[in-house]
Structures are given as C-alpha cells and as structure tokens.
Amino acid sequence: MLTDANPFIYSHPIAPDDVIDRDAETEQLLASAVGGHFVRLYAPRKYGKTSLLRRVLRDAERRERMIPILVDLYGVLSVADVAIRFERAYARQLKGKTRARIEEFLQTTGLGLSLGALGISARLQVEPRTDPLPALHALLDLPLRLEEGGAFRALVVLDEFQDITRVEGMDALLRSHIQFQGEVASFVFAGSEPGLMRELFEVRERPLYGQAVPMRLGRLGDADIAAYVADRFRESGRSVGEAANPLAAAAKGHPQRAMLLAHRLWQEVPAGGTADLGHWSRAHAAALAELAAEFDAGWRHLSTNEQKAIRSLAATGGSPFQTRVLEGLGLAKSSARSALVALQASAIVERDGDRYALTDPLFCEWIAGLRGAGGLGEGDV
Ligand SMILES: Nc1ncnc2c1ncn2[C@@H]1O[C@H](COP(=O)(O)OP(=O)(O)O)[C@@H](O)[C@H]1O
Ligand SMILES: [Mg+2]
C-alpha cells in the first residue's frame, strides 16, 4: 500500500464491496425489483440505506440488465426542487445509447430539460417564472421511454423519500405516474423518519397507501462488525487485538457508530502495531468528543418531556414507565407515553416489545454522562 490511509469510512455512503452483512437484504431487494414489486425501505439515519441501495442498483445493472437510477430527495421543498433532482439523477446515471435517446427526447419537449450541464435548473434561473410542473411530468414518465430501448426494466430508488411530504400533493403526483409503470419500472422508496413514512404509506386516505411492501433494515451483528474491523486492521498492517469486542459492544450494532469507533481506534494505533484497551478508551473518548456538539444540539431540540422520558429510559435500562423514576423526574405516565411516541416517530428511540432503547448508542452514553457533568440530577434518577 502506498499510503497509510484509514480504511474506515463513516461520513458518507460506502462502496458496494465494503458493505457488511447485508446479503439477504440485497437479494430481497433485487428479487422485488425483478418481480416488479415496489418496496419501502425504512431504517434510522446512518443505518446504511444509501450504501445498500447503491449495491442493489449496481447488481441490478450487472446481473439483471436493469437501468439503475438513484434520486436523492433530501431537503426538497418545491416542485422545481423535485424536477431538478430527477433530471440530475438521470443525467448522472444514464449511459451510452439510452442516454443519447433520452437526451434527444428531452430536447424535443421544449421544456428546458437536458442531461447536459444546462438543464431545467438553468432554465429556471434565466426564467424564474417558468412552471416546473410540465418538466416534472416529463421526467416522471421517463421509465416509459427507457423501456423502448430494450432494457429489461428500470430500477428507480427514491432516497430520503419522507422529504416529499414538504411538497404539497407530491405523493399524489408521483402515484399518478408510477401506477402506470408496473411493467417498465420498479421503485424503492427509502426513508429514515418512521412517522412520516407511515403517514405516506399506511394512512388509508393517502395516495401511496398500500403501494409498497415494507422492509426494515436492522442493526448489524456484533460478530460481523468485529470480523470486518479485524480484517481491515490486518489489511492495513495493524492488529485490532483485544479492542474488537469492546468496540462491537459499544456500537451495539449501529452501522455508522461502529465505523466511527473503528476509524478512531485505527487512528490511535501506529503502523505495525496492535490495539490494546488503552488505545480503545482513547478512541472511544475521542469519538464522544467529536459528537458532543451534535448531541448537544439534538438534546436542546427536544421538548422537556422528551428529555425526561429519555432520562427515565436511560436510568431504567429500557423500561421508562417505572413510577418511582417518573415521580423523581416530575413526569406523568401519560406524558411519558406521548413523549415516547414522538421520539419513536423521529427514530431517536426504538421499541422492541416493551423495551425501549435510544437508537444511537453513543447518544445514550452522552446522556448518561450529563448527570455527572451538570446540575441535572433530580432525586436519585
Ligand atoms: N452494512 C454496512 N457496513 C459497514 N458500514 C456501514 C454499513 N451500513 C452503514 N455503514 C456506515 O454508516 C455510514 C452511513 O451509511 P449510509 O449508507 O449513508 O446510511 P443511511 O443512508 O442509512 O443514512 C457509512 O459511512 C458507513 O460508515
Ligand atoms: Mg442515506
């Protein structure tokens, strides 16, 4: 190896071959895509949705001759935003003859659409009063045109899909197109806000009600994390030694937190060295320090009742309705209940039967540290 580069990436989606242990999910998504079923994929943020979906798109193209399209809807606020995202997605991903054919079609619409540098966003800049809706209609119909080129079908992934709830009527508009595309395209709707995803797909009155099979992405197994970390250490001339188990235990299966901890650990260990528990505790502390500002902002963003419900959850190890604890915090049981509903809707808290847990294991540690740090103690909670 020429450079001694840290092999653990934690700040952006990872390459398809670096994805740990999502083989079953990959196969399931591919089978659905080939079969023409629509899937909604849910997982909290940073669980590896985008990484997994990129792998599925790669395999769908290689193995099934599908045309892969990934549209990132993060932060869209208007019809124009959505149109630009779709256009840029096609611009990035179409190749060869298909690309030429689609570009020719887009040019003939006269709507300012193009796969080149000057597409609909340029048109909207020069003529801000342009109505972006006809352009969006044309883009949403592209799967029908792709099929004319003889590809098997398109696989269209709509990532951060919950953000379309910010654009009024967008789910109805989408539905009006995709309902005629069952023969030519398969769709995956991926999202990280359980509350909004449920609202879009499980409320009877909503246009997308019942339109997609639900699939949930879970945590990674400790053994898979430990084995991956050990391999990457070895490949980069180090040994993870006795630090692998405490690392996996601290990550609690959270994919991004596992990679962040591994990145920090690797950073502590010199080339040719073996990690020990001293390296591990420095790495662990460094990871928490790196996240402190993010956690502080997240914590302040919560309502007082949500903060109390989380304190109760942390104090009881997952059973937040114990009377003594709630009394100590001055939180009524009914308030605790509704706070926990809200916390689950935004995926800060996850529920497994009657046990509750913070989704992020490091946030949980940070909260545990709060009591000792400041004047937060109420009673003996
Ligand atoms: N299966 C996995 N194997 C290894 N690392 C993963 C995996 N899934 C997620 N990660 C880690 O999580 C980070 C975020 O992944 P990403 O795909 O962007 O998640 P999401 O789209 O769910 O927010 C990646 O940078 C990587 O460090
Ligand atoms: Mg993502």
The more confidently predicted of residues 122 and 371 is 122
pLDDT at residue 376 is higher than 50: no
pLDDT of residue 229: 97
CB 266 within 8 A of CB 238: yes
Q: Is residue 206 part of a domain?
A: yes
Q: Ligand 2 centre and the CA of 192: distance in Å?
A: 8
What angle in degrees, to the nearest 10, is found between the helix axes of 277-301 and 244-251? 10
pLDDT at residue 373 is higher than 70: no
- Closest Cα to atom 5, ligand 1: which residue? 255
CB 125 within 8 A of CB 103: no
Q: Ligand 1 centre and the CA of 298: distance in Å?
A: 20
State which of 8, 11, 14 you would mutate to test the pocket of ligand 1, scoring each by most atoms of that ligand within 8 A of its C-beta. 14
- Ligand 1 atom showing the smallest separation from residue 51 Cα: 17
171 lies in the same domain as 278: no
What does the pLDDT look like over 92-143, one tens digit per residue?
999 999 999 999 999 999 999 999 988 999 999 999 899 999 999 999 999 9
Q: Domain of 237? A: 222-297
Q: Is residue 113 part of a domain?
A: yes
**Strands (DSSP E) found in the chain:** 39-42, 67-72, 154-159, 185-191, 213-216, 349-352, 355-358
Listed range (54-68, 169-183, 363-377) with the worst mean pLDDT: 363-377
Residue list, ligand 1 pocket, CB within 6 Å: 9-10, 12-14, 19-20, 22, 43, 45-51, 255-256, 259
Q: How many domains does the chain have?
A: 3
State which of 26, 41, 42, 47 you would mutate to test the pocket of ligand 1, scoring each by most atoms of that ligand within 8 A of its C-beta. 47
- Ligand 1 atom showing the smallest separation from residue 45 Cα: 23
196 lies in the same domain as 232: no
From 178, 194, 216, the end of a domain falls on: 216
Residue keyed to tokens 């098997």: 152
From 169, 185, 216, the end of a domain falls on: 216
CA distance 157 to 164: 14
Tell which residue, 229, 216, 224, has the closest CA to residue 259.
Answer: 229
Tokens linked to 313: 């959850």
Average pLDDT for 371-377: 55
pLDDT of residue 369: 86
Mean pLDDT, the chain, whole residue set: 93
- Closest Cα to atom 16, ligand 1: which residue? 48
86 lies in the same domain as 183: yes
Average pLDDT for 265-274: 97
Distance, CA of 305 to chain centre:
27
The model's confidence at residue 378, banded by pLDDT at 50, 70 and 90, is: very low
Q: Which residues surround ligand 2, an ion (CB under 5 A)?
A: 49-50
pLDDT of residue 151: 66
pLDDT of residue 31: 97
First to last CA, the chain: 52
What does the pLDDT look like over 63-85, one tens digit per residue?
999 999 999 999 999 999 999 99
283 lies in the same domain as 137: no
Q: Is residue 39 part of a domain?
A: yes
